[in-house]
Structures are given as C-alpha cells and as structure tokens.
Amino acid sequence: MPGEVTLPFFILGVLTIVGAAAALTLRNLVHCVLALILAFLGLSGLYLQLDAQFIGFAQILVYIGAVAILIVFAILLTRGAESPSQPIASPSWAISSVVSVAVFGVLAWTIRSSVATRHPTRPQPELTVRQIGNALMSRFALPLEVIGLLLTAALVGAVTIAMQDKREMK
C-alpha cells in the first residue's frame, strides 16, 4: 500500500530528523558536521527505500563522500578546537521556529488540498542506474571530468590558503 509507513522508513526518517536537529543545535563545529553526515545518510536511506537508487547513491557519493568530508577538512585545517562563546539559542530562535512551523503547516495543507495531487500520474519511464551511468560515461564524460577537476582544484586551493594562513600566524 503506497500510504503505509514501514518500520525501516520510520527509523530512517527519525535518523534524518535527529541528525538535522543535532547539526543545528550542537556547539562544536566538527560535531555539527558529523551530525549533518548522519542526516545525509538517513536521507540517502530514505531515497533507497523509495526505489530511487540513483538519487540515493548520488546522495552518498556527493554529499557524504565529497561535501561533508570537504567541510570536515576545511574546519580542521582552518579552525582550532575552540568552541563558540555565544549561546546557540537566542530570543529570536523561538519566534523563527514558530514561523517556520506555521509556514510548513500552510504549505502542507496547500499541497494536500491541491487539485494537482488528485490527478492520476502517468507511469514513469523505466530508467535504471546502469542507463544513467552509461550516459554519464559516454555522452556526459567531458562535463563530468571538468567538474571533477574543478572540485579538485578548489580543494587544493583551500588547503593552500589554509596552510599560508597558518604560516603567517606563527
């Protein structure tokens, strides 16, 4: 049944929400990034549960494997182990939380009562991860390599800048 929530889906949803909430509230920046990785992992598991294998594996490769690890390296190279002195929660935090919950409620109600959700959907074309991979390695090989080189150059540049700043501090 499509509307039924299974136990693994519920566990992955709770894992994603807890990881995202921890990423927002933890004081140590490294712990925040590790919690963000946990949220990304839960999100990729949700995609895999929904039979979106390509998006799930791309979430693992791109966000966990590249972005989150790059953030961890950037934090470890550029910052010390000090924790921020100002508190995480501010008076405006409660107001912004209430406003965000209200906006989410209005959006959820609007989507739920929309006419577009009542129309039957057309069957999606059967596209496999193998077909996407073949397209990436044949038709889109050059753009994929250019993006890889650009990301590598950005990482080398960030490490070079961080090392120069550390030398100037000494």
Q: Do 76 and 132 fall within a single domain?
A: no
Q: Express each pLDDT in 103-157 by its tens digit.
A: 999 998 998 888 777 777 777 777 787 888 888 889 989 988 998 899 889 888 8
Q: Express each pLDDT in 67-116 by its tens digit.
A: 777 777 777 777 655 555 555 556 677 788 888 899 999 998 998 888 77
73 occurs within a structural domain: yes
Distance CA 94, CA 88 (A): 12
Query: By the 8 A CB rule, do 9 and 49 touch?
Result: yes
pTM, rounded to two decimals: 0.58
- Burial track 37-72 (b if 16+ CB lie within 10 A, e otherwise): bbbbbbbbbbbbeeeeeebbbbbbeebbeeebeebb
Length of the chain measured in residues: 170
139 occurs within a structural domain: yes
Q: Do 73 and 136 fall within a single domain?
A: no
Res. 168: pLDDT tops 80: no
User: The domain containing residue 55 runs over which residues?
Assistant: 1-80
Output the domain CATH number for residue 45: 1.20.120.1200
Q: What pLDDT does 47 receive? A: 92
Number of domains in the chain: 2
